[in-house]
Amino acid sequence: MKTQTLYITDLDGTLLNGNSVVSPRSTQIINDLLHKGMRFTVATARTPATVVPLLQQLDLDIPAVLMNGAVLYDIRRKRYIRANGFTDNSALNYIDLLEKRDLVPFVYRIDNNKLHVFHKPLSNEMQREFKRQRENTPYKDFVPVDRYAEPLLDRPPLFILVIDRFDRLETAAAEIGRAGQCSIFCYRDIVDPSYGNLEIYPQGVSKASTAQQIVDHLNPWEVVAFGDNLNDLPLFRMADRRYAPENAMDEVKRQATAIIPDNNHDGVARFLYDDYL
């Protein structure tokens, strides 16, 4: 058994199936391996509001990398271990650029172990559905505001998310990339590729940089990563072995050590069973 290997997987499109859940078969396989000593955790763009319910059946004891590396989170104890947010007012400059393009950002900040998401009136149905699916949980509060500056001047945010048409996001991402020093992830929505997400973090923040904190603590002999999308590539680059499900983007497949079965056929769990034992 590879007890000195650390396995890190993405969620959407990788461990989660097409219904955005961990299948019963994957849950059983992974829990059996965890009880045998497997070192396993997740690295995802999601927040605790959806990660905790999704993974409540898994007996995870290693912290998870959430929000594309913005935080390190203890799922079992439901608490933030480390936050890697903005430390100056540069986020307000990025928000100003977004608003000049008539884009409405969700701006995230942690207060008393709970996420607060500040936003102005929402402008499209994708934004409204995003909010509907995530509000009224013990892990996140949405806070309507008239001006972003008022709640953020004293305490800078964790990161910024924009949901809109992908072509508009690409243009905004390019402008922000030229204007400031930050980490930007811009990618298409899995369900409706005409829309997408633009995420803006402090420079250097990624799944990989925060996963490295886990690696430094555990000192494993090797790191094995799983992912399907472009925001998984930094994690791939720091891993010793990299695996992409059959449904992954072509660029991710090209950088993978090998291709595993797709996310609707328990690809990650089946690989773990064969590799760990």
Predicted model pTM: 0.91
Q: Where in the chain is the domain with CATH 3.30.1240.10?
A: 90-202
Q: Where in the chain is the domain with CATH 3.40.50.1000?
A: 5-83+206-276
Location of structure tokens 């892990």? 139
> Which band of pLDDT confidence, cut at 50, 70 and 90, is reported for residue 60?
very high
CATH 3.40.50.20 assigned to 90-202: no
- 201-231 burial, b at 16+ Cβ within 10 Å, e below that, comes to bbeebbbbbbbbbbbeeeebeebbbbbbbeb
Are the C-beta atoms of 223 and 6 separated by less than 8 Å?
Answer: yes
184: part of which helix (H) or strand (E)?
Answer: strand 182-188
For position 110, what pLDDT does the model report? 95
- DSSP secondary structure code for residue 239 in this structure: -
> Which band of pLDDT confidence, cut at 50, 70 and 90, is reported for residue 1?
confident
pLDDT in tens, 79-124: 999 999 999 989 999 999 999 999 999 999 999 999 999 999 999 9
Instruction: Flag the least confident range among 22-26, 49-53, 153-157, 249-253.
Output: 153-157
| Identity of the amino acid at 127 | Q
pLDDT in tens, 136-191: 889 999 999 999 998 898 889 999 999 999 999 999 999 999 987 899 999 888 78
CATH architecture of 5-83+206-276: 3-Layer(aba) Sandwich (3.40)
pLDDT at 3 over 90: no
